[in-house]
């Protein structure tokens, strides 16, 4: 039997990727992936259409989400795998998160205007197809409007965590994110910890129900990978990984850059059944 591989971190047009669920599946197929997880920010609307296409393409779709949380102004992403994405209360909670994203977007657009950048909120809605709107959409609109030369410049000069037009304070806490994922039967995983390097917080969250660490990620160095593998072993945490592909949203396509052995999916699956 040939070895099977998975990518457990992929966005779609329902959040801030330029790839539709169909394009994601087609490209996953090209990369010979057996399973993928669709992990849109605060949105599960791509899961149903993806599941319908999955049969046609013979690819396994793992229902998932990437919840945006915040701890003392620090942006903490919590992934949830094998969630009950049809849970009614969860749908309501996601809707509230997306409403807060719209209010935050209005504030950011105002700040950008004070910095000479004119962004129309309608153009942002169009990009996200009524899913989750966020900073990557602003960056794309700025690029299109000729305000910046690339996405990186948009974050560096205007909307990055330390830049003048950034607005925080709209997200739930990591504890709430983990609580929600556990409530809907999912496995909560700390996303790309190497981008934060806050191991104290990560270990604190284990007592709040965190079950895994995203070890394999394009932003992780080889040293990061070894470091987080050690932590996962020491604290008996599950290991995940994925490309965090945003289509052309991050200028180059990441799908295919991270492929993890299917055994990791089986371990996640077993844990979700428990």
Query: For binding to ligand AMP (CB under 6 A), which residues are involved?
Result: 16, 41, 68, 134-136, 151-152, 155, 160, 250
Q: How far is the CB of 192 from Zn ion (least distance, A)?
A: 8
Q: Which residues contact 171 (CB under 8 A, 6 or more apart)?
A: 68, 69, 70, 75, 97, 100
**Min. distance of Cβ 211 from Fe ion in angstroms?**
17
Cβ neighbours of residue 235 closer than 8 Å, sequence gap 6 or more: 203, 206
Q: Choose the one of ligand AMP, Fe ion, Zn ion, none that binds residue 151, judging by a C-beta under 5 to 8 angstroms depending on kind.
A: ligand AMP
Q: Which of 243, 241, 244, 245 is nearest to 262 (CA)?
A: 241
> CB of 15: closest distance to ligand AMP in angstroms?
8
Nearer to ligand AMP, 156 or 230 (CB): 156
Q: Closest residue (Cβ) to ligand AMP?
A: 134
CB 213 within 8 A of CB 202: yes
**Interacting residue ranges for Zn ion, rule: CB under 5 A:** 66, 244
Least distance (Å) between residue 115 CB and ligand AMP: 17
CB 95 within 8 A of CB 64: no
**What's the distance, CA 210 to chain centroid?**
16
- Closest to Fe ion by CB, 77 or 211: 77
CB burial of residue 7 (10 Å; 0-12, 13-18, 19+): buried
Q: Which is nearer to ligand AMP, 220 or 250 (CB)?
A: 250
Under 8 Å between Cβ of 240 and 212 = yes
Give me the least distance between CB of 53 and Fe ion, in Å please.
22
> Closest approach of Cβ 136 to Zn ion, in Å?
10
Q: Which DSSP string do the residues of 197-238 spell out, in sequence order? A: --HHHHHHHHTTT--EEEEE-TT--HHHHHHHHHHHHHTT-E
Q: Which does 17 bind (CB under 5 to 8 A by kind): ligand AMP, Zn ion, Fe ion, none?
A: none
In this complex, which beta carbon is closest to ligand AMP, that of residue 99 or of residue 230? 99
Exposure class string for 239-267: b at 16+ Cβ within 10 A, else e = bbbbbbbbbebbeebbbbbbbbebebbee
Contact of residue 217 among ligand AMP, Fe ion, Zn ion, none (CB under 5-8 Å per partner type): none
Q: List the single partner that 155 binds among Zn ion, Fe ion, ligand AMP, none, CB under 5 to 8 Å by kind.
A: ligand AMP
Task: Please say which residue, 211 or 250, places its beta carbon nearer to ligand AMP.
Answer: 250
- Nearest residue to Zn ion by CB is 244
Residue whose CB is less far from ligand AMP, 60 or 244: 244
Question: Which residues contact Fe ion by CB under 5 A?
Answer: 16, 77, 191
CB of 87 to Zn ion, least distance (A): 21
**Closest CB to ligand AMP among residues 59, 220:** 220
Q: What is the C-alpha to C-alpha distance for residues 201 and 174, in angstroms, rounded to an integer?
A: 9
SS3 state of residue 71 = strand
3-state secondary structure (DSSP) of residue 183: helix
């Amino acid at each position: 039997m040939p070895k099977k591989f998975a990518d457990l971190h992929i966005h779609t047009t329902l959040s801030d990727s330029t790839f539709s669920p169909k394009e994601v599946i087609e490209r996953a197929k090209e990369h010979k992936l057996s399973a993928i997880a669709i992990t849109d920010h605060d949105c599960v609307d791509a899961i149903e259409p993806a599941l319908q296409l999955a049969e046609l393409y013979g690819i396994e779709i793992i229902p998932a989400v990437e919840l945006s949380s915040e701890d003392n102004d620090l942006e903490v992403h919590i992934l949830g795998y094998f969630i009950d994405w049809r849970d009614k209360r969860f749908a309501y909670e996601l809707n509230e998160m997306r409403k807060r994203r719209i209010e935050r977007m209005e504030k950011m657009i105002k700040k950008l205007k004070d910095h000479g950048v004119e962004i129309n909120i309608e153009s942002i809605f169009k990009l996200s197809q009524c899913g989750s709107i966020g900073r990557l959409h602003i960056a794309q609109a700025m690029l299109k409007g000729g305000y910046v030369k690339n996405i990186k410049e948009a974050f560096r000069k205007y909307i990055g965590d330390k830049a003048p037009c950034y607005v925080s304070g709209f997200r739930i806490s990591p504890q709430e994110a983990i609580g929600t994922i556990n409530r809907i039967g999912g496995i909560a995983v700390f996303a790309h910890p190497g981008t934060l390097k806050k191991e104290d917080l990560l270990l604190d969250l284990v007592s709040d129900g965190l079950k895994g660490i995203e070890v394999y990620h394009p932003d992780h160095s080889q040293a990061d990978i070894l470091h987080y593998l050690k932590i996962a072993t020491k604290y008996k945490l599950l290991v995940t990984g994925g490309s965090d592909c945003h289509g052309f949203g991050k200028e180059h396509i990441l799908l295919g850059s991270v492929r993890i052995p299917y055994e990791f999916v089986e371990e996640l699956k077993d844990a979700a059944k428990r």
